[in-house]
Amino acid sequence: MAANPRPALTADVLAAIRGMTITPEMTGDLPVGDLGEIRDVTMPGPGGDIALRLFDPRSDRTAGPVVIFYHGGGYAVGSIGSHAGLAAEIARQLDLPVVSVEYRLAPENPWPAAPDDGEAAARWIAQNGAAFGRDFTGLVLCGDSAGGNLAIVTALALRDAPAALPVLLQLAIYPAVDHSREYPSRRAFAEGYGLDSKDTTLFDQHYAADKRHPRNSPLLVDQTGMPPTLVVTASLDPLRDEGRAYAAATTLAGVPTVFHEAVGTIHGFACYRRAIPSAQADLAACLGLARAMLNAR
């Protein structure tokens, strides 16, 4: 990344990125690989149509859970395409269908557009398995980074006003959970570890969210009644400490919680499996924990 610096993610640069087709290989990840079916579906959303993409290792599947996946990217970059490799790998490792959500991005669509879309998608998918040719029986809310935030925010919304199907598990991979304060890890890894403070500052400016609102900083509210929770952090990640704090908060609230920290790696490792040789094993380890938690229901 240092050898190939990119420009600052200003509004103009983001507008140019919107016109590009981003693939996993362009971001340092592995390609989608073999799957039984990939299907594009469109749903009505609160701000217009929302694109959804199904990734399933099986073309013919009996009734069962569905993973709803929210991609990372600071609420300003990322897409179904950029995170297709990760979504496909989650589908393979869990042997479950994954539906990836193309939620609206800032700065064109500032907060709360992203959580509005995230919640709407979960509720719609819960009622419309037939649109994917499947019979869904429960939801697994999953996301990385900003997407991890959206998974948790959506789980909070569905705790308070349940969807048509129950939430069986929330899987938050190096999530952003508290924008209200600066944690020590944000200072320790502010530069040179893949998620520099200059980028997070721009992301925050573009997103323009209320830093203390639970739909932006879900750590700040009571976690009682949340679904079983798996929190994954990276030991060299600016977001590490707030992920640790979130796992502690769910545990103290009596939520069945598993915490896993990938040691010696950085924020974004789940999408750097081509660039970082250890990343595939790190991802497999956390998905193995998710699989065990689902099997223990």
Please list the active-site residues.
145, 237, 267
> Can you tell me the distance from the alpha carbon of 123 to that of 117, in angstroms, rounded to the nearest whole number?
10
> Can you tell me the distance from the alpha carbon of 91 to that of 85, in angstroms, rounded to the nearest whole number?
10
Q: Which residues pair with 42 in a beta bridge?
A: 51
> Can you tell me the distance from the alpha carbon of 274 to that of 6, in angstroms, rounded to the nearest whole number?
19
Residue of 225, 121, 217, 227 lying closest to 171 (CA atoms): 227
- Residues 231-245: b if buried by 16+ CB within 10 A, e if exposed: bbbbebbbbbbbbbe
Tokens of 43: 């749903």
CB contact at 8 A, 53 and 101 = no
